[in-house]
Amino acid sequence: MLRRALGVAVRRSSSGGWRNEATRASVLEECSALHVSVVAPSNEALRGPLAQSEHQLFQTVLPFVLLLGNHSSGKSSFANLALGRQIQTAGVAPTDDSFTIIAPGPADYDRDGPAVVSDPDLGFEGLRGFGPNLVQHTQLKIRSGLNTTSFMVVDSPGMIDSPGAATWDRGYDFQGAVRWLAERADVILLFFDPDKPGTTGETLSVLTHALAGTDHKLHIILNKADRFERIHDFARAYGALCWNLSKVIPRKDLPRIYTMCVPQPQRGKGIGGMEDLDRSREEVLAQVFDAPSRRLDNAITRLRDSAVTLLMHAKVSGAARRRAIWRRAAVFATSGAGLLAVAAITTAAPFLAVPAVGVLVVAGTHVLHDRHVSQQLRDQTSDRGLEDIYRSTHPHHDDDATATWERRVKHHLKRVLADVDFDASRLPRHPHVLLQNLKRVIDVDVPALRRQSAPVDFQQVRHAGTTRFPPGSTGAAGKL
């Protein structure tokens, strides 16, 4: 029933800006095949950091935009503006504690969480894994007459931006649910209220964990900028937000922060420059309405990010394993040399007490050396030690590589090392063919999928860029 209600929207969104539906299906199928044949086996063999859901190509019935932010940051008001109808209740106080899926349809009607997660066609059945409390805090609103028939909007409960809020119990794994939705979303908007431009509590936890690896589709918004009456107040709020973000986003350059406002019937003049706020809002709306065409891009990007993350994990853990093996080998080599020396002395003078003393000395030296190496291995797996290994295996790292390391690889690798008592020599060996397959996905498969899924205009640009002029011709410059 729900599928039939959304059928018109699905058909209208299927073509998007792409060449044809066959191309779209082919690209998605190839992405899924590579996840199954390369990414999942590699992650299992390497004890990699990818969650089980990242092994698969997941797809909801329509592309969707995920709205996140603290209470009173303007998420619901923006959803109403983008969709062209008064759907969500907006207010200064918390008004909604549910994940609300808003979808286009021929008529207005609502469905509760159990109906949503039990419908296999909608694509939200995975939310059942977070328990009945989350299911009861999920709802679907199908509405007619929206500004779009090609995507959905998912409005989320307001995050509690205060110290200690990350430890509050909502009755379900809020961070895990956000992560699940963020992985599947095609556009993510993170709203901040100018009165609370901090990144503490749940916002800090969501930024550092649930939204890790989603930078390509995440847009940060300082909303309600029309409230400022003085430029000084605006500068303080904007600076505070930039400062707080710099502590949780491991990049030299912070991502763009959209400063905007949702139009109000009666609003003051504010700090002036309302045209800039309106222009910024239009840019955000353009990102929202581009969600359908972002679906293929996101599927390919997710494939590449998974392969890059696994390859980084393999390189760092492999280097740590080799260093640990060499240090262990040095202990046995030293002890072996000592025993050979004692054996030689024993052969030359079997009746002297020197051989017995020598054996004791070698044994004692071996024990002390082994303890020293064990301490070195622990130092190697400390934050500083792992950082040294990362920099040695990635000497030309950029901001993206550093973000992948900080958010996705380092902490997981520390947990894996804890499981083997911080002895990297016990980490799994990396088959060469496995690493070659990951490199092939990054260097060959992903570029091929990008070319296959590019809009027709891109094909024309690429063709024009490879035009060859006759010998002796000055090319396009000769026409000027």
> Containing domain of residue 147, as a range?
60-289
Same domain assignment for residues 247 and 381: no
Same domain assignment for residues 275 and 312: no
Q: What is the pLDDT of residue 467?
A: 43
What's the structural domain count of the chain? 2
Q: What is the pLDDT of residue 476?
A: 33
Determine the Cα–Cα distance for residues 88 and 110; give it in Å rounded to an integer: 13
Residue 477 lies in a domain: no
Same domain assignment for residues 283 and 310: no
Residue 239 lies in a domain: yes
Residue 43 lies in a domain: no
Q: What is the pLDDT of residue 296?
A: 86
Q: What is the pLDDT of residue 29?
A: 87
> In the chain, what's the furthest Cα-to-Cα distance?
106
Q: In a 10 Å sphere around its CB, with 0-12 CB exposed, 13-18 middle and 19+ buried, how is residue 345 labelled?
A: middle
List CB contacts of 338: < 8 A, sequence separation 6 or more.
358, 361, 362, 365, 366
Same domain assignment for residues 167 and 92: yes
Residue 134: other Cβ atoms inside 10 A:
23
Determine the Cα–Cα distance for residues 201 and 163; give it in Å rounded to an integer: 5
Same domain assignment for residues 91 and 232: yes
Determine the Cα–Cα distance for residues 421 and 416; give it in Å rounded to an integer: 9
Same domain assignment for residues 113 and 226: yes
List CB contacts of 348: < 8 A, sequence separation 6 or more.
none
- Residue at a domain's end among 264, 289, 314: 289
Residue 469 lies in a domain: no
Same domain assignment for residues 369 and 276: no
Residue 10 lies in a domain: no
Q: What is the pLDDT of residue 210?
A: 84
Contact 36, 55 (CB under 8 A): yes
Same domain assignment for residues 277 and 324: no
Residue 296 lies in a domain: no
Residue 30 lies in a domain: no
Same domain assignment for residues 150 and 182: yes
List CB contacts of 104: < 8 A, sequence separation 6 or more.
6, 9, 62, 142, 143, 144, 146, 148, 149, 150, 152
Q: What is the CATH number of the domain that holds 223?
A: 3.40.50.300
Cα distances from 231 to residues 28, 234, 262, in angstroms, run 48, 5, 19
3 state SS for the chain? CHHHHCHHHHHHHHHCCCCCHHHHHHHHHHHHHHHHHHHHHHHHHHCCCCCHHHHCCCCCCCCEEEEEEECCCCHHHHHHHHHCCCCCCCCCCCCCCCEEEEEECCCCEEEEHHHHHCCCCCCCHHHHHHCHHHHHCEEEEEECCCCCCCCEEEECCCECCCCCHHHCCCCCCHHHHHHHHHHHCCEEEEEECCCCCCCCHHHHHHHHHHCCCCHHHEEEEECCHHHCCCHHHHHHHHHHHHHHHHCCCCCCCCCCEEECCCCCCCCCCCCCCHHHHHHHHHHHHHHHHCHHHHHHHHHHHHHHHHHHHHHHHHHHHHHHHHHHHHHHHHHHHHHHHHHHHHHHHHHHCCCCCHHHHHHHHHHHHHHHHHHHHHHHHHHHCCHHHHHHHHHHHCCCCCHHHHHHHHHHHHHHHHHHHHHCCCCHHHCCCCCHHHHHHHHHHHHHHHHHHHHHHCCHHHHHHHHHHCCCCCCCCCHHHHHC
Cα distances from 170 to residues 76, 93, 96, in angstroms, run 20, 18, 13
Give the pLDDT of the chain (480 residues) as one tens digit per residue.
Answer: 555 555 545 444 444 444 567 777 788 889 989 998 999 999 998 899 887 655 455 678 899 999 998 888 889 999 999 999 999 887 554 556 889 999 999 999 999 999 999 988 888 988 988 999 999 999 999 999 999 999 999 999 988 766 555 556 788 899 889 989 998 899 999 998 877 666 666 787 788 788 877 888 999 999 888 877 778 778 888 888 888 787 777 666 778 899 998 886 555 555 555 788 889 999 999 999 999 888 888 889 889 999 999 999 999 988 888 887 776 665 555 555 555 555 555 555 555 555 555 555 555 555 555 555 555 556 566 788 888 889 989 988 787 888 888 888 988 888 888 887 777 778 888 888 888 999 999 999 999 999 888 766 555 555 554 444 344 433 333 333
Same domain assignment for residues 230 and 328: no
Q: What is the pLDDT of residue 27?
A: 87
Tokens of 267: 């609003």
Short-list 31, 17, 287, CA closest to 153 = 287
Same domain assignment for residues 123 and 255: yes
Same domain assignment for residues 231 and 268: yes
Determine the Cα–Cα distance for residues 13 and 59; give it in Å rounded to an integer: 14
Residue 220 lies in a domain: yes
Short-list 118, 103, 99, 112, CA closest to 174 = 99
